[in-house]
């Protein structure tokens, strides 16, 4: 998606990246990938929960992640071992969700062309 950031903006859309990472890590990521969009930290996953995209990491997965050096306590909601499901939401100027893509398999991502087609089929932003 990040390669399409300017195309989305040319159509008049704002682009927001919401992550379960803490603010410090998120700022490092933004500098590394050199994007101008707004990055928001949802470290406690309050937004993810409201959108219904927070999933609880089971004990086996938690231990596997730990052996891989993934610090879940740092990456997301430590108390409940939650992570956000990779998702894309297109919100219209009326505040309504016009399109959503949610896939718990983090290895499968929506192709940006699909987003572009959706953006061209909904009303233009203000």
CATH of the domain at 59: 3.40.30.10
Does the residue 7 lie in any domain?
yes
pLDDT score at 85: 92
pLDDT score at 122: 79
Mean pLDDT by runs of 10 across the 126 residues of the chain is 81 86 86 85 91 90 86 64 88 85 91 89 65
pLDDT score at 61: 86
pLDDT score at 74: 65
Does the residue 62 lie in any domain?
yes
Does the residue 126 lie in any domain?
no
Does the residue 30 lie in any domain?
yes
pTM (two decimals): 0.76
Report the C-alpha dihedral over residues 117, 118, 124, 126, rounded to 10 degrees: -130
Q: Tokens 């949610």 correspond to what residue?
A: 102
- How many whole angstroms separate alpha carbon 45 and alpha carbon 37? 20
> How many structural domains are present in the chain?
1
* Segments forming the whole domain that contains residue 23: 2-121
> Taking the CA atoms of the chain, what radius of gyration do you get in angstroms?
16
Q: Which helix (H) or strand (E) holds 83?
A: strand 82-84
pLDDT score at 124: 60
Tokens read off for 77: 């909601």
Does the residue 109 lie in any domain?
yes
pLDDT score at 119: 86
Q: Tokens 């929506």 correspond to what residue?
A: 110
């Amino acid at each position: 998606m990040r390669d399409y950031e300017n195309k989305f903006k040319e159509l008049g859309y704002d682009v927001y990246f919401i992550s379960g990472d803490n603010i410090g890590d998120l700022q490092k990521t933004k500098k590394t990938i050199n994007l101008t969009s707004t990055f928001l930290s949802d470290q406690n996953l309050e937004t993810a929960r409201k959108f219904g995209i927070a999933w609880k990491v089971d004990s086996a997965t938690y231990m596997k992640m730990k052996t891989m050096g993934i610090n879940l306590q740092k990456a997301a909601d430590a108390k409940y071992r939650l992570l956000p499901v990779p998702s894309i939401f297109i919100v219209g100027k009326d505040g309504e969700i016009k399109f959503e893509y949610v896939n718990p398999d983090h290895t499968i991502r929506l192709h940006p062309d699909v987003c572009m087609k959706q953006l061209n089929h909904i009303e233009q932003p203000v």
